[in-house]
Amino acid sequence: MVEAVIELSNLNGVSGNENAVREYILERISPLADVIRVDNFGSIIAFKKGKRSDKTVILSAHMDEVGFIVSKITDTGFVKFKSVGEFDTRNIVSKCVKIGSAGVDGVIGMKAVHLQKKDEREKTVEIKDLYIDIGAKNRSDAQKRVKPGDYISFPPSAARLGRYIRGKALDSRAGCACLLKLMEQQYDNDVYFIFTAQREIGMRGAAAAMYGINAGRALVIEGIESADMYGVKDKDITAKIGGGVCVDFMDKFAMPDARMTKRFYELLKNAGISVQEKHNAIGLTDAGGIQRACEGIVTACIAVPVRYSHTQSCVIAGSDLEAAVNAARIFAGKAEF
Partner 1 sequence: MKLLEKLTMADGVSGGEDAVRDMIISEIKKYCDDITVDAMGSVIAHKKGKGKKIMFAAHMDEIGVIATFIDDKGFIRFSNVGGIYTKEILYSRVRFKNGIIGVIGAEEEEFNKKPSLDKMFIDIGAKSRAEAEKYVSVGDTAAFAGGYTEQNGVVIAKALDNRAGCYILIEAMKKLKRNKNDLYFVFTTQEEVGLRGAKTAAYAVAPEYAVAVDVTDTGDTPEAPKMAVSLHRGAAIKVMDRSVMCDVDVREAMIAAAKKAKIPYQMEVLNIGGTDAGAIHLTRAGVKTGAISLPLRYMHSPSETASIADINACVSLTAAIADTL
Nearest-approach distance from CB 336 to partner 1, in angstroms: 16
Buried b / exposed e over 225-248, threshold 16 CB at 10 Å, is bbbbeeeeeeeebbbbbbbbbbbb
Q: At CA 326, angle to CA 324 and CA 242, rounded to 5?
A: 45
Residues 115-174 that bind partner 1 (CB under 8 A): none
Q: Among 57, 297, 306, 315, indicate the residue that binds partner 1 (CB under 8 A).
A: 297
Closest CA to 151 of 78, 83, 76, 77: 83
Q: Among 43, 153, 196, 261, indicate the residue that binds partner 1 (CB under 8 A).
A: 261
276 vs 312 by CB, closer to partner 1? 276
Closest CA to 63 of 23, 102, 34: 23
Residue 187 and residue 185: Cα distance in Å, rounded? 7
Nearest-approach distance from CB 292 to partner 1, in angstroms: 5
Residues 28-57 that bind partner 1 (CB under 8 A): none
Q: Which stretch binds partner 1 (CB under 8 A): 96-104, 105-113, 220-228, 254-262?
A: 254-262
120 vs 277 by CB, closer to partner 1? 277
Indicate whether 280 belongs to the interface with partner 1 (CB under 8 A): yes
Q: Which stretch binds partner 1 (CB under 8 A): 74-82, 134-142, 271-279, 315-323?
A: 271-279
Indicate whether 294 belongs to the interface with partner 1 (CB under 8 A): yes
Q: Do 328 and 183 touch, CB atoms closer than 8 A? A: no
Buried b / exposed e over 293-332, threshold 16 CB at 10 Å, is beeebebbbbbbbbbbbbbbbbbbbbbbbbbbbbbbbebb
Q: Which stretch binds partner 1 (CB under 8 A): 8-16, 23-31, 154-162, 250-258?
A: 250-258
Nearest-approach distance from CB 332 to partner 1, in angstroms: 18
Q: Among 255, 263, 330, 334, indicate the residue that binds partner 1 (CB under 8 A).
A: 255
User: Any alpha helices (H) in 157-240, and if so which ranges?
Assistant: 170-182, 204-209
Closest CA to 174 of 21, 37, 336, 287: 21
Residue 19 and residue 6: Cα distance in Å, rounded? 17
Q: Among 86, 120, 184, 236, indicate the residue that binds partner 1 (CB under 8 A).
A: 236
Residue 199 and residue 179: Cα distance in Å, rounded? 16
Indicate whether 80 belongs to the interface with partner 1 (CB under 8 A): no
Residues near partner 1 (CB under 8 A): 234-236, 249-250, 253, 255, 257-259, 261-262, 277-282, 288, 291-292, 294-299
